[in-house]
Each structure stands twice: as structure tokens, then as C-alpha cells.
Structure 1
Amino acid sequence: MGPNPLYLRSIDGKPGILIDFIIVGGGITGLACALGLRRIGHRVIVLEKMVVEDVSRLGNGGGRLPPNASKILFQWGLEAALREFAVSSSGVEVMRYETGDLLGTHPWEEEILREAGGEYLFCHHVDLWQLLLRAAKEAGADVRLGANVTSIDGDDCSVRLSGSDVLRADVVIAAVGISSDLRTVVSANDHCLYDSTPVFCRLYSLIVPSQVMLQDHLLAQMYTRPSPPAFLWLGHRASGLASRVGGVNGFMVHIWVSDYPRSTSNESEWTTQVDEADWKFLISHCEPRLQRLVQGATFRMHEPVKIVPQLENWVHPSGRVPVVGEAAHPLPAGSVQLTALGIEDAAVFAKLFSHLTSEDQIPMFLHAFQDLREDRCKRVLDSELDNLIIRMMPNSPEQEERDNIMRERQALGLGVLGAGGGKLPDQWDQLKELFGYNAEDEADDWWVKWGLLRERAKQRSIELEERIHVHFQAVNISNEDDDGE
């Protein structure tokens, strides 16, 4: 079956040459990269060690697509498919974690979303993954599940599989996880820092069936809102987030806690193994609705939240192997922009390689990718960390000031995430900047300002060399004629 035109539309221009990509990692970032590159015609193989059943079982938690990410997928022709399973959030209600007392609300302003070009969507992680898997395949990508890559050779631009098979390409993209040793392929100096980074707190993720929500009068009031908001709880060294996500398992919950059972403190990666006694400990200090959500959940998992620094180098010295997504620029688990940054990476990557006319441009494009993304990802990390600290602020005069500012803004009919004086940042201004970012425009701007200039300079250099060559040829011929006389 040929490529589906649905996923090949609305791309400005096609590359002058087509090359071969291998993408190691078939998560959201890897599949988005595959789709973006196939939309402009490049040949793509995706190697993912898990199979569909593994992802469906392990990736059942809820996820978020802020406007800066949803607009990319909308532009790629996936809006109708997304709306089949995603829920569009109307805003956020902010409450105290321990009591459930309302601090205020903040609507997502329609004008801001319209300017951003997307919506704030909540969905099941696995639903988004399955959509991108299907779209990448239909666009012509060769996606190989159950393919375990054991090593990447940056000098040879090749990968070795667990069965000792070796595959080569013009570019190998490492779209691996935050804790993968493969993320260090670009530099011997960039060690895998994940294991040695201390745990900031832990994130507990839950999925609650729609039926459970509807049968409990307190939870039904949260579930049946005509314009579904997100629910945000602020507490003493703890925070919570909940929202509808669509489908029969239609409600997601995230809980961040700094004080957690010792039995989970040694878990270095995410797991679904949590004792009932531990769950009881976790909900002993939170409001009744959160307690009922935990008790009614049919899917539970938890993972450490770490503040892991970006890699210093994202591109191998060969100029043919980049690291993208969480492997290059990690965010704390549960971050708003966690999925979005990987989709932005894919959009920038595809835009850059839509201008490819010769293989000697590959290193330039890969280094431009890091230049374009590094500062943006750092700003997002700073914002996410500030957000987490504000939400989990210990009981203190600063926490009381935060809560009072929110109550005052609510009384004035203002969104509670805006600036209200004191030491609190204007969270809404930060969000507007993050939501309004256009990854493809950034890549286009780079091409116009720098890429074209370099290509023109290179062309002028070639033309100058040709003129010099012609000139010397003419001189040599003239000298030979003189000698003949």
C-alpha cells in the first residue's frame, strides 16, 4: 500500500534529495519524527524494543497535549483522529490538596488558544501512541516493533540489534528514553546522569473508569462538567492533577508527593507495583475526592521525579547521529510539556530536512537542530520546575501569600494563574509564551536567516572556484600557444 495522502499534505516544499533515516525508539518522539520525515519523502525505519501489547499494558496512563503540540498534529492532518479520543480542557480549577477548598479558577482564553493555533488536550498516552504508530505506517515508515537495539555506532552511522544484525543509514536518530545508556552515544563526556540524580519527589499516576466516576456523587460532579476543566490541588509538599481523558477509562489522576513510603524509595524507574498499605499512606493527608479517586482506580503506577540536566552535546562528532526528545532534554515526570517537546523536535527536524539538497548539509542541519531547540527546552525546564515548586510549596508564610493572592483574584473575577503581586511569577504569562511557540516557524526562520545565506555563500564559493579554474586554464592555453611560436 502506498503512502496515505492524508499524512503527506500541507508541507511547504520537498527536499532536493531523499536519504535514509533509522530512528532508535518508537515512543511518541520517535514516531512523530518518523511521520514528519515521511511527510517530506525521506525513507525511515523505526526500531522499537517493545511490542504493541507491552505499550498498551504499560502506557495506560493519562497525558497532556498543550496547544504548542496539538497545533502541530492538527497541521499534520491528525485533528479529526485526535478528537476521537482526546478531551479539550476549558481551564483549570485550583484547590487545596488537604481540604479541597477552592482557591480559584483560570479559563484557557479563547483568543490566546486561537493565536496559538491549538487546544489544551488530555488523552490516554497509549491512544496517542497508537495514532502516531498508525499514521507513521500509513505515511510509509517501516516501523519494526520488538527490535532491540543494543548499540549505536556514531562513526559508522549504524545500529546493532540483539540478534547481531547491523543496519546502516545516512542518519541515525536516538529517540531513546531518559534512562537509556544509548543517549550517551553522541559524546564520551556525556555520561548517563539519570541514575546518579537524586529524587526530587515521586509521581503516582492513576486511571479511573468512567463507571466508577458516575456511581460516586462527589466524583460525578467532577466528571460530568459540560466544559471539562482540569483539577489542580496545591498542598504541603504535595500536589495533584486530574482530568477527563475520554473512553471507558475516562479519568486520569497525577499525584506528586515528597513524603512517600520507604518501600518505594528504591524504585529507580516507573512501576505498577505498589502495596495497598502504601496507597493508604499516600492518601491519608488528602481531601476526600482524591482519596476516592485513588480507591476507584483500576490502573496505578509510580515513578521518581528527577531534575536531570540536558546533554551538553546532542550530535555525534561524525555529524550523522543526533539525540532527540527526553534523551537530549529531560523534563520532570508528569510535566505539562513532556510529550510536547518531543513533537516539537519532530516538527523542527522535518522542516530542516525539507531543505536538503546535498548530503554535506546533514551535519549543518543536525547542529542547527540543537541550536534551535536547546534554549527553548531549557526555558521549558525552568518553567516546569518553577511550577512544580509553587504547587508543592510547604506550609509557610509564602504558601499563605500564594493562596491569598489566588483567592483575591478569584473574588475579582480574574484568572488565578495571573500575576498578583508578591514574589509569585505570572504563571499565565509563562504559559502563553510556551503555548504560543511555533516549532515549524522557528525552523523556517533559521533557514531564511542562516541556512539560505550559507547555501548562497557556498554557491558563490563554488562559482568563484570555477571562474578561477577557467581563468587558469585560459592562461595555460595562452602560455602553451606562446611557447609554440
Structure 2
Amino acid sequence: MSGKAELTIKFIVVGGGIAGLAFVLEQYSDADVSKMSHGGIRLPPNVSKVLFHWGLERALRQVSVTSSAMEVEIYETGEYIGTHLWEAEVLRETGGDFLFLHHEGLRKVLYDAAIAAGAEVRAGTKVASVSGDGPHVTLTSGETLLADVIVGADGRSSVVQQAIVGKDVFDGAPYQSLFYNTTVPGELMRADPQLAPFFKKPVETMFVWLGNNRSAVAFRIGGKDEFALHLWVPPRQKGLSDDDCWGGGLDLKEMRRQLGECEPRLLKMTKLAATPSRVQVKMVPPIEDWVDKHGRMAIMGEAAHPLPAGSLQGGAMAVEDAAVFAKLFSHLRDKDQISTFLHAFQDLREDRCASVVHTEQCNLYFQMLPAGPQQEQRDQDMRAKTAQGESVFGGGEASEQWEQLKELWGYDAEDEADDWWVKWGLLRERAKQRSLDMEAEMHAARLSSLRMRA
């Protein structure tokens, strides 16, 4: 995927999700992961172009559809507000496409690529503790694994994160809403007169419902005859558990009760849906340290920069992390560089990820605006644009949202890593080499002086 380094070292990547693309320790069995890889996922151009560059375009095309439009409705009534077409020129400039697929399909593409690249995947392996001192991982079985670098790609409540930071950052943050992720069989939707029109629209259309403290997104899943359904709703009534639940054990009636006032089509979709997963939506403050004090252990993906659940850029940030990480370590020639590369990884990714997290928080707030003047103005602006034959994101606050998306999509993770190497990495290496050369010259001079005295 990136150029091969002169020096080969051993990585242990804790976590078998999207970010874990090397030697993987995954606490869940293959069957458990299948349950957790639930529902649809959206891949924006900034990540699809990275995966294409890695040689995965053909595999991705087989399990995805390419999005070309977004249709906006009102959550409570189903009123059509307008449509936005992804601008072909913008997509060409980004070098990628906007893809819809099943989370399980994406994971399989990455899994197959990791195996082909020589990674060893150990499913059903639970990590008890990690340390950057000598770097090692201790499993609950008592087995100890040694490596040169440990990477924590083990999600929000990360074991590696806790070892570096000293606490579970995600668990300690308050949550504001709940996210449900499920799928609806296409066969059942086509059999319903109200839902069948979803399949008569272009397959590439994404549907977004804007509601009072609620929102929904739906889209066709590539490779499967299913519709993905994402729901953001308020917390449940006091006294009822809102713990994360990854497939199984959740009652569909509970999800429907959380819908509140909603249009008939959404209600019907939830009645036909598969058992959902449920995740707390949290706004987590930035994590200060991604690298441990020994400079041999780092976190990436959700372990380093948790996004609100269901975010468009959730999977994208994990892949961008992996791309930057791989590019940096493709220049490895000496183990002394490891700490430098890990800290460079955080330096390169920290601001970008913080910006994306903020944007995703704003996007979710925009979708779930409470009923009131701001919400009314948002809807009026979008209706006016539609009446004028323009995109719903043609001006005002909505236009700002779209401009932010274009900036996000134009980012190239691998270029950023290459720029760092040219501007800073090579300078460091040259300075280090000059220092070594000077030491060698001084040593040679001392030896020559000693010989003359003798």
C-alpha cells in the first residue's frame, strides 16, 4: 500500500476494526464481529481515493454503489424540502467517489487486503494489558506478545488509550443522544406501496430527515438488497438503560418508541427493520496524548479522536490515520526513528481530526435543530432554494455546511505524510547523518593523534 521500508519491524495492532490493517488482535470471534459489523456505512471521497490508491477499487466497487444525490425531508411530516446533487467537478478534484456499502462488506475488503499483505489476524483474543516498555501485550490467557510498536485501534473505550492517558476518555464523557443503526430488506420495502418509491428513485440517492432533536438517514447498500437506516434520537426515559448494544438483545419496539413524532414511511421502515445496534452519541473533548512516554505505543481511529456515532467521516478518519501511519513508516531505516514517526503521526493528524470532529458535531446539530426560530429559518432557506430550482445547499447556513464538506473531501492523507517527510523527515535524517559523520571524523582524528604519539 505504501513503499516498503528498508527496515522491517513488528507491529501489534490491537483492534480488528477499520483502522486495524496490520497484525491484529481482536477480542471478538468472527461470529461476534459479523454482528458488530452492522448496518450501512458511507465512504466520502477523501477515504475512497485512499482505498482506490491501495488497489482496492475493484473489490469496493463490487460491494458498493456510488452516490450522486441527497434528498432532504422533514422528519415529522415527510415534507420534501429539496435535493442536492454532488458536483461532478468537485468529485473529480477530490480523486474519489461517495460510496454506500454494508459495514461488513468494507471490513471484508480490508480483512482480505490485510491477509494478502501478510498480516496475522487473531480473532477471539482479548487483551488484558499493554505497555510501551519493551513493547508488549499481555492477553487474558496469560500469553505475552512482544513487538517493536503497539498500535491501539481498539475503539472508543480503548485498552491502549487507557494505558497512555490513564483513564477511559469516552466512558467518562456525558452523552446527548442515541444512535440506532439497522437495515431494512429491499423485498419488504418494495411490497409496501408507500416504501416502494424509494426503489424507483436513482439507486445513488441518500435520504436525510431533519427533525426536532431527531434525525434519520437512509440509503441503498451496495452488494445487498437492503436499505441502511440510521436514527439519532433523544436518550431514553430516566431509569432505563442506554448502554451500547451491538446487535442482538435489542427489542425493535424499543427503537420505535424512541422515534417520537415521525412521518409514516420512517415508522414503516422501522417495523420492517432487522435488529439494530445502539450506541451513545458523545461529544468527547480532544485527547492530548496519542503516544506513550516510551515512544513505542500510539492510538489511532476512534481510540484517538472519537466522533459522534453515525458520523459520515467515522470510517474515513480511521483509514486516513492508517494511510499517514503507513507512509511515515515506509521511510523507516533505524529503530531510533520509531518515536519520531509516532509523534509525527499525531502532529499530522491532530488538527485535521479535531476539525473533522467539530464539523461532524455541527452537522449533527444542524440535522437535529430543536423546533424554534433557527430551525424555521433553516427550513425556509432550503425551501426557497428549491423553489428557485437551486440546490438546497446553495446559500446561507446550509451552504456553509456544504463548503465544509468540500474542504473535507479534498484532503489527501498520503500527500500530507509525504510533505512532512520532505520538509522535516529528510532534514532530520541529514542532520543526524552529519552529526554521525562529524563524530566519525573526530574519532578518526583522535586515533591518528594517538598513533603519532606512539
TM-score bracket for the superposition, by shorter chain length: over 0.9
TM-score by length of 2: 0.96
More moved, 227-236 vs 371-380 = 227-236
Aligned with residue 141 of structure 1, among 119, 130, 134: 119
Residue 425 (structure 2) pairs with residue 415 (structure 1): no
Residue 33 (structure 2) pairs with residue 14 (structure 1): no
More moved, 291-300 vs 377-386 = 291-300
Task: Pick closer, same or farther for the CA change 1:381–1:95 going to 2, 3 Å.
Answer: same
In structure 2, the partner of 1:37 is none
In structure 2, the partner of 1:239 is 215
Q: How far apart, CA to CA, are the structure 2 residues paired with 1:329 and 1:141?
A: 25
TM-score by length of 1: 0.90
Q: How does 1:184-195 map to 2 (within 5 A)?
A: 184-188=162-166, 191-195=167-171
Residue 331 (structure 2) pairs with residue 331 (structure 1): no
Aligned with residue 207 of structure 1, among 183, 192, 201: 183
1:284-308 superposed Cα distances (whole Å, 9 cap, x missing partner): 4111111111011123222211111
Contact 2:152 2:158 in 1 (8 A): no
Q: How does 1:122-133 map to 2 (within 5 A)?
A: 122-133=100-111
**2:289 aligns to what SS in structure 1?**
coil
The unaligned stretches of length 5 or more in structure 2 are none
Residue 417 (structure 2) pairs with residue 439 (structure 1): no
Structure 2 letter corresponding to 1:197: A
Residue 46 (structure 2) pairs with residue 68 (structure 1): yes
CA shift, 1:415, in A, is: 2.2
Structure 2 letter corresponding to 1:214: R
Contact 1:234 1:240 in 2 (8 A): yes
Q: How far apart, CA to CA, are the structure 2 residues paired with 1:263 and 1:211?
A: 38
CA shift, 1:198, in A, is: 1.2
The unaligned stretches of length 5 or more in structure 1 are 1-7, 35-44
Structure 2 letter corresponding to 1:80: R
In structure 1, the partner of 2:438 is 464
Structure 2 letter corresponding to 1:233: W
Structure 2 letter corresponding to 1:375: D
Aligned with residue 79 of structure 1, among 57, 65, 69: 57
**2:24 aligns to what SS in structure 1?**
strand
Query: CA RMSD of the aligned region, Å?
Result: 1.7
In structure 2, the partner of 1:252 is 228
Structure 2 letter corresponding to 1:348: V
Structure 2 letter corresponding to 1:365: F
More moved, 236-245 vs 283-292 = 283-292
1:70-122 superposed Cα distances (whole Å, 9 cap, x missing partner): 11111111111111111211121111101111111111111111111111111
More moved, 250-259 vs 441-450 = 250-259
In structure 1, the partner of 2:198 is 222
Residue 323 (structure 2) pairs with residue 347 (structure 1): yes
In structure 2, the partner of 1:178 is 156
Contact 2:44 2:312 in 1 (8 A): yes
In structure 1, the partner of 2:270 is 294
Structure 1 letter corresponding to 2:118: G
**1:322 aligns to what SS in structure 2?**
strand
Task: Pick closer, same or farther for the CA change 1:145–1:282 going to 2, 3 Å.
Answer: same
Residue 450 (structure 2) pairs with residue 476 (structure 1): yes
1:229-254 superposed Cα distances (whole Å, 9 cap, x missing partner): 10001011111100001344410011
CA shift, 1:200, in A, is: 1.0
**2:408 aligns to what SS in structure 1?**
helix
**Identity in percent:** 48
Task: Pick closer, same or farther for the CA change 1:247–1:296 going to 2, 3 Å.
Answer: farther
In structure 2, the partner of 1:39 is none
1:134-163 superposed Cα distances (whole Å, 9 cap, x missing partner): 111122111111111111022120001111
Structure 2 letter corresponding to 1:362: I
Contact 1:86 1:245 in 2 (8 A): yes
In structure 1, the partner of 2:344 is 368
CA shift, 1:195, in A, is: 2.2
